[in-house]
Amino acid sequence: MSFDRQAHKERIKWFEEARLGMFIHWGLYSIPAKGEWCKSTLKISDAQYQQYFEEFNPANYNPLFWAHMAKEAGMRYAVLTAKHHDGFCLFDSELTDYKATNTPAGQDLVRAYADAFRRVGLKVGLYYSLIDWHHPHFPHYGDRHHPCRDNEDYKGYKYDFDKYLEYMHGQVRELCINYGKLDILWFDFSYDDMKGEKWRAAELVDMVRSLQPDVLIDSRLEPSDENSLLTETPNSYAGDFVNPEQLIPPNGIFDSAGNPVPWEACITMNEHWGYCANDQFYKPSSMIIKKLVECVSKGGNLLLNVGPDARGNLPMQSVRILKDLEYWMKANSASIYGCGPGAGCGPGAGCGPGASGIEKPDYGRVTRNGRKVYFHVMENTVGPLPLTGLKREEIEKVRLLADGSELTIVDDWRTDIYKDAVFLHLSDNPDLPDKVDTVVEVTLKG
C-alpha cells in the first residue's frame, strides 16, 4: 500500500484537535529507578536484570487514577509503553514468557490501562519498542545500544534476525487484535541500518492498518533525519505525525512543499522517561503550561511524560504538575483544543512558514481556532496591550477567556500615533490576573 494523503488527513483530525496527551514509561526499570535505559547504560546482564522480573509487584497500580489525573489535566489521549527496549512486556503476549503476568504483578497491565483510559473517555495509545535487549535474535555484540555490545562472548554468535522480526510482527499483531480499538501505535526507534525495511516496515504497517484502520502511527520506523513524511512522496510506513523528542521545533514542522506536517513533541517532566529516584530536576508547572502553548502556537501537540514508580504510583511532583495544568486548562482549554498558529494554519489549513497573519507578540504567544484568536499574555506590558497583527475593524469583541469578562479597546493620547495597531486595557494591576499565562480571547467578525 502506498501513502494515502486523503486517508491520512481524515485519521489525523482528532489528534490535531487534541493537542495534549500523557506519555507513560513504566516497566521493570522502575525498580533500579535510574531510568529506562539503565540496562544499556550500566551494561546489566540478563541474569542481573532478572531480579527485577522476580520482584515486580506494583501493588498500588490504579490505572483509573492515572486516567482521571490525565483527563482532569486536560489530556485527551495517552501512550503507554507496552514493551520498552529491555524487552519486558506489560501485556500478556503468547510469544514470550517475559511478561507482567509471570511476575508477582500477575496481571495484564496493558489491558487494565486500556480499559481505564477508555472508560474516562481518553484515546488509547501504545508504545512498542522495535529494539529488544532481551530477545536472543536481536543483535548483541557490536550493536550501538545493546547492554552486551562489548561482550566478546557474543562475538561469533549467529543471529537469525528474521526470527526476531517474526516475533516483533507477531507481538504487534497481538496488540492490534487483543486490546480493542487502538488510537496510536508509537514505534521506537530506528538507527544506523536498523530502519525501514530492516524492520520489514511496509509489511508491518500494512498489517497494522488492516487490523486497526484508524490507528495513528508515529514516524520512528524511519530515522528522524530521513523522515519521508517531510517529503512530497512519503513511504507507506512514514507514519502519521513527526515526533521530535525533548525539543520544541523552532518554527513548527513543514514538508518540502511548505505544507504543515502534524507533530507531537514528547517531553519529560524531569530529565528521565522511566522512574528515576534521584532526578529532582522537574520543570516548574508554569514552564510546562507555557511549553504546551508554544507547541500549539506552532501547530503541534505536547505528549507529556510521567514515569510511575515500582509500586505503581505517579511521582508526587508529577501529580502536582498535573494539578497545576488542570487549574490552568479548566479556565483556558479553549485556547488549546482545536487551535493552531495565529497565522491561521490551524489543523489542516495548509499554509507554509512565513504565511501572513498574526505574529508572535513580545509578551507571549498567539493560538487560533478560526474566528477565535487567543493572545497568551505571559509578561505584562506597560500600559495598553497591543493585539499584534489585527485591525480594529476586524474585531467583533474581546473577552478575558478565564471568566468571559469584557475587555475594552484603548484609544487615547498614548496609542494615537500607532494608527495601524489595536490596543487593549487588560488591568490596572501590574500583576497579571493569571501570572503564568493570561489568555485574551478576540472574536473576529464573521
Q: Which residues bind ligand GLC (CB under 6 A)?
A: 25, 36-37, 188-189, 245, 266, 273
Cell digits of residue 300: 503541534
Rounded CA-CA distance 330/435 in Å is 16
CA 362 to chain centroid: 27
In DSSP notation, 212-226 reads STT-EE-STTS-GGG
Q: Which is nearer to ligand GLC, 225 or 431 (CB)?
A: 225
CB of 192 to ligand GLC, least distance (A): 14
Shortest Å, Cβ 23 to ligand GLC: 7
Nearer to ligand GLC, 279 or 437 (CB): 279
CA atoms within 13 A on the CB side of 444: 18
In terms of CB distance, is 27 or 74 closer to ligand GLC?
27
- Block residue for cell numbers 507496552: 82
Minimum separation from the CB atom of position 127 to ligand GLC (A): 7
304 vs 321 by CB, closer to ligand GLC? 304
Instruction: Select 188 or 222, whichever has its Cβ closest to ligand GLC.
Output: 188
d(CA 333, CA 2) in angstroms, rounded, equals: 37
Helix 161-178 × helix 201-211 angle, to 10°:
20
Rounded to whole angstroms, the Cα distance separating 39 from 44 reads 5
Q: Per DSSP, what are the bridge partners of residue 439?
A: 376
CB of 305 to ligand GLC, least distance (A): 7
Residue number, 115 or 245, with CB nearest to ligand GLC: 245
* Smallest separation (angstroms) from ligand GLC to the CB of 144: 12
Task: Say if CB 442 and CB 423 are below 8 A apart.
Answer: no
As separate numbers, helices (DSSP H) first and strands (DSSP E) second, the chain gives 10, 15
- Cβ 237 to ligand GLC shortest distance, Å: 17
Is 188 in contact with 128 (CB distance < 8 Å)?
yes
Smallest distance from the beta carbon of 259 to ligand GLC, in angstroms? Answer: 25
Bridge partners (DSSP) of residue 185 are: 126, 217
Nearer to ligand GLC, 237 or 374 (CB): 237
